[in-house]
Amino acid sequence: MGDPPHRLTLQEARRIAVTAQMLGAERPTGLLPLVERLTFLQLDPTAAVAPSADLVAWSRLGAAYDPEDRRTALERDRILFEHNALVRPMSDLPLYLADMTTPRGGRGHGWVDRNDRFRRDVLDLLGARGPLMSRDIPDTHVEPWPSSGWTNNRNVTQMLELLAMRGEVAISGRQGRQRRWDLAERVYPSGTPVVPREEALAVRNERRLRALGIARAKRPAMPMEPVDVGDAGEPAVVEGVAGTWRVDPEALDRPFAGRTALLSPFDRLIHDPSRTADLFAFEYVLEMYKPAAKRRWGYFALPILHHDRLVGKLDATAERKAGVLRVNAVHEDVRFTRAITKGVDGEIAALASWLGLTVER
């Protein structure tokens, strides 16, 4: 028989989750240690306040974070890499190479094989002239990419993305929002070892649990990055919450000191709605795809964390031409105390200062 599960109160579980995500009072020392702990930053083009990757970094690092740091780490220092719209530590590359180099089925793989001449044209051009943006690469497809959606006939972009998934090309950097592509061998360090796939999956589960603190062993598949952790960690039950969890044993005795933080809508603390409801009793939906009249909290509302509770949402917009961070509303999920109000106002002022804007309510 295995060891009995750890028995956690709801508050203990929340504090484990918050501290694991580096949202406690003790801030990380820099961008690389932050990304190593979180395992990735998600890239998203929406910037109603700021790009999500930068919001996630700022919410942990504060004013010390400069978005240029991310670009430098990716393009000059090569201590981070971008793959599948996620920025990861270059030290984690060995955990993903097996996925890239193991042939897989699916229509994408078959489409690349049927367009092998097109594939070789792309690789030859990047070898001779890279890095290049997709618009600089001729479309020499034999068979067009089959889609009725936004990817319809976007043959060069699809080829590049599929070759990146196969580890043949990589994102060398960006020009504005446009990706610059190059041969993977010129972006990734030479001689990088390939961790066997099953071993890599186990290590990734362990690192994901360390980043989350507490998670379910199994969950439905999620886009881009899983939210479950398999057999990593140790079993736990949370008071008042059905089912079993996996907990990072190193997090069990970690002291907690909280603060107030404004989170990106894509923040991993709230990314899994089921986990967020179970641990925080917090309801959140990103409403930017809803008609304005049907939004409850705003186009790009920022969840508000106060110590170990998610207490509300901030509806704000960065109006850069006007030089203001416009606060449309602060939605209170719980009645704000003076301490919560002071903390939220302080974070709004800090966010505006970091953006180089003034607050306008």
Q: Is residue 155 domain-resident?
A: yes
Average pLDDT over the chain reads: 95
Burial code (b: 16+ CB inside 10 Å, e: under 16) for 280-296 equals: bebebeebeeeeeeeee
CA distances for 281 relative to 55, 75, 95, 256, angstroms: 23, 40, 34, 20
Is the pLDDT reported for residue 152 higher than 60? no
State how far the Cα of 19 lies from the Cα of 27, in Å rounded to an integer: 10
pLDDT band at 151 (very low <50, low <70, confident <90, very high): low
CB under 8 Å, gap of 24 or more: what pairs does 110-114 form?
A: 111/143, 111/145, 111/146, 111/158, 111/162, 112/159, 112/162, 112/163, 112/166, 114/142, 114/143
Number of domains observed in the structure of the chain: 2
Predicted confidence band of residue 272 (pLDDT cuts 50, 70, 90): very high
Last-in-domain residue among 187, 215, 245: 187
Query: Measuring CA to CA, which residue among 334, 298, 332 is closest to residue 48?
Result: 298
0.75 cut: is pTM over it?
Answer: yes
Q: Is 277 contained in some domain?
A: yes
pLDDT at 274 over 80: yes
Average pLDDT on 340-349 reads 98
pLDDT (0 to 100) of residue 1: 56
Question: pLDDT class for 86, splitting at 50, 70, 90?
Answer: very high
For 142-156, 164-178, 284-298, which range has the lowest pLDDT when averaged over its residues?
142-156
Predicted confidence at residue 352, as pLDDT, reads 98
Residue 163 falls inside a structural domain: yes
Which of 162, 187, 212 finishes a domain?
187
Q: Are 216 and 229 in contact (CB under 8 A)?
A: yes
Residue 297 sits in a domain of what CATH number? 3.40.630
- Order of all β-strands in the sheet with 260-262: 260-262, 302-306, 309-319, 324-332, 358-360
CB 304 within 8 A of CB 297: no
Cβ(83)–Cβ(164) under 8 Å? yes
What is the SS3 assignment for 312? strand
Q: Which of 187, 206, 222 is the last residue of a domain?
A: 187
What confidence tens digit (pLDDT) does each residue in 320-343 have?
999 999 999 999 999 999 999 999
264 shares its domain with 350: yes
Mean pLDDT computed over 241-255: 96
Mean pLDDT computed over 49-71 = 97
**Does some domain include residue 168?**
yes
Q: Is residue 75 part of a domain?
A: no
Nearest to 280, CA basis, from 233, 315, 313: 313
Residue % of the chain over a pLDDT of 70: 96
| pLDDT for residue 97 | 95
Q: What residues make up the domain containing 138?
A: 96-187
* In-domain check, residue 344: yes
Name which of 33, 26, 357, 66 is nearest 211 in CA terms: 33
Same domain, 268 and 354: yes
Tell me whether residue 62 is in a domain.
no
Helix (H) or strand (E) holding 52: helix 52-61
Average pLDDT over residues 76-80: 98
Quote the pLDDT of residue 108. Answer: 84
The helix (run of H) or strand (run of E) holding residue 122 is helix 116-129
The CATH number of the domain holding residue 118 is 1.10.10
- Distance between CA atoms of 300 and 288, rounded to whole angstroms? 6
Specify the higher pLDDT residue, 231 or 108. 231
Q: Is residue 239 part of a domain?
A: no
